[in-house]
Amino acid sequence: MRISQRFAQMTFYRQRSLIRQLIQRELGQRYRGSYLGVLWSYLTPLFMLLIYTFVFSIIFKARWRLDGPDTSTTDFALILFAGMTPFNVFSEVTNRAPTLITSVPNYVKKVVFPLEILPVVSLGVAFIQSLINMLLLLVFSFIFQGTISATFYLLPLAYLPLFFLCLGTSWFLSSLGVFIRDLTQGIPILVQILFFLTPVVYPLEQVPENLRAVLLANPLTTILNCFRQVVLFGGQLPWIDWAATTLVLMLFAGAGYFWFIRTKKGFADVV
């Protein structure tokens, strides 16, 4: 009850205009001065998809074994892309988190600014890029498979636990990054390790049974499974796993927010 009351008092709704402006400004700055501009939002994921598909499907001969024969190269690419998209949202938000506060000292020292919205802005930018990826995935699914997932409409629910995970992680790390500058160097390494401990380029079923518990403890495993089910496989969300993961990550996000609010009074003394 206390968590619900505190969340009800948050200023995100009142600051929605500011959040939208900051997201638009950051997206504009990202491609300012480049010849192709916003086209890079489409080209970058395509290049990465081609590279990963070539390495894992052509060189390593990786296949995604489902309830039948091994998948083709194009099917593997689509499944890979459906997993990379949510993981890249988490990766971008997490890698940026340690410098969110230290990179804007004027907001901390000279201006009365709601610093707690910065992780929301970071997530918003990553979310927009992921929507572009989902659009590309939808087009490619229709081209190569001749159909679109019948449960694609459940995609907003698949995003929900990912949002809570990213917000909680960003609030924790952005606060800790003010006091522990080494996080800037360490977090990208941990994210890279996590990439291989998450079934992004391989199915969970290929992991030895005695090690599956480790991957199942990783909430990204459930999140990626949810995305693939509703975007590609046309299946329902694994409702029990989805609900349990969403609840745990909602509490995690709440804890991250309260930690941020509790520690932000000390930011000005350190930045």
SS3 100: coil
The better pLDDT of the pair 222, 52 is held by 222
Residue-level pLDDT at 1: 42
pTM as predicted:
0.88
- State the residue range of the domain holding 252: 2-270
C-alpha angle with apex 127: 82 to 46, nearest 5 degrees? 45
Q: How confident is the model at residue 8 (pLDDT cuts 50, 70, 90)?
A: very low
Tens of pLDDT along 238-253? 999 999 999 999 999 9
Task: With beta carbons less than 8 A apart as the criterion, state whether 120 and 167 touch.
Answer: yes
- How many structural domains are present in the chain? 1
Tens of pLDDT along 11-35? 677 888 889 999 988 887 877 766 6
Distance between CA 104 and CA 149 in Å, rounded?
42
Mean residue pLDDT of the chain comes to 86
The better pLDDT of the pair 69, 44 is held by 44
Task: With beta carbons less than 8 A apart as the criterion, state whether 130 and 224 touch.
Answer: no
The better pLDDT of the pair 152, 268 is held by 152
Task: With beta carbons less than 8 A apart as the criterion, state whether 225 and 214 touch.
Answer: no
DSSP state letter for 59: I
Tens of pLDDT along 96-117? 999 999 998 888 877 778 899 9
* DSSP class per residue in 46-109: HHHHHHHHIIIIIIS------SSSPPPHHHHHHHHHHHHHHHHHHHHHHHHGGGTTTT-HHHHH
Distance between CA 52 and CA 176 in Å, rounded?
33
Residue-level pLDDT at 5: 42
Q: How confident is the model at residue 166 (pLDDT cuts 50, 70, 90)?
A: very high
Q: Kindly state the percentage of the chain with pLDDT values over 70.
A: 88
Q: Which residues of 17-53 are buried (b: 16+ CB within 10 A; e: fewer)?
A: eebeebbeeebeeeeeeeeeeeeebeeebeeebeebb
Q: To which H or E segment does residue 138 belong?
A: helix 118-145
Nearest to 157 by CA among 84, 218, 91, 231: 231
